[in-house]
């Protein structure tokens, strides 16, 4: 995608205003008459050394702890509690299923799955795993092993940052 300096300045202005990449993609099409993919917009923003700003999240009310479930109190047939059934532990405590600090780990497949540009797997801080992929249209997909699973917002953010770092290493 070839943009002139004026168009690049306009994209920089949109980022400064807090526009999301999908909004920038639409604006480039509407105002510049160019059809670009989401991935092309991502790469453009990266080339311009710009960082999109997420809007400040709304304040969340204090969390109330739900009563312990019967599954959390009863041992399994092996006599040990399942990691998913353990009550939440304080940050930094031993016993998180995915290691100290509850980090998200990400891997990229050596050979991309059919129909994708790049694919891989991710393990979230709660131990849940999912397959991820980036298709030819620049869309990111996530397929969790457990049906209906939704990772926490913090895990999603950490996953996206890790994915961006891995894709940069690959030159994507």
pLDDT at 138 over 90: no
Task: Assess contact for 92 and 101: CB atoms under 8 A.
Answer: yes
- pLDDT for 86 equals 35
| Extents of the domains making up the chain | 5-47, 95-170
Q: What percent of the chain has pLDDT over 70?
A: 72
Per-residue pLDDT averaged across 68-94, rounded? 43
Banded model confidence at residue 134, pLDDT cuts 50, 70, 90: confident
pLDDT tens, position by position, 42-56: 888 888 877 776 665
Question: 107-117 in b/e burial notation, b at 16+ Cβ within 10 A?
Answer: ebeeeeeeebb
Banded model confidence at residue 90, pLDDT cuts 50, 70, 90: very low
Task: Assess contact for 159 and 144: CB atoms under 8 A.
Answer: no
């Amino acid at each position: 995608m070839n943009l002139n300096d004026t168009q690049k300045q306009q994209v920089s202005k949109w980022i400064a205003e807090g526009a999301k990449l999908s909004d920038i993609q639409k604006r480039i099409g509407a105002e510049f008459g160019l059809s670009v993919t989401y991935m092309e917009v991502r790469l453009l923003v990266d080339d311009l050394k710009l960082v999109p700003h997420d809007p400040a999240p709304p304040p969340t009310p204090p969390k109330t702890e739900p009563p312990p479930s019967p599954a959390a109190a009863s041992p399994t047939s092996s006599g040990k509690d399942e990691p998913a059934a353990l009550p939440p532990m304080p940050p930094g405590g031993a016993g998180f299923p995915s290691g100290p600090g509850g980090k998200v780990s990400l891997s990229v497949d050596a050979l991309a799955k059919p129909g994708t540009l790049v694919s891989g797997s991710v393990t979230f801080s709660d131990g849940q795993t999912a397959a991820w992929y980036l298709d030819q249209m620049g869309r990111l997909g996530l397929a969790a092993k457990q049906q209906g699973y939704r990772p926490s917002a913090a895990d999603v953010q950490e996953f996206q940052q890790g994915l961006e770092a891995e894709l940069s290493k690959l030159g994507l």
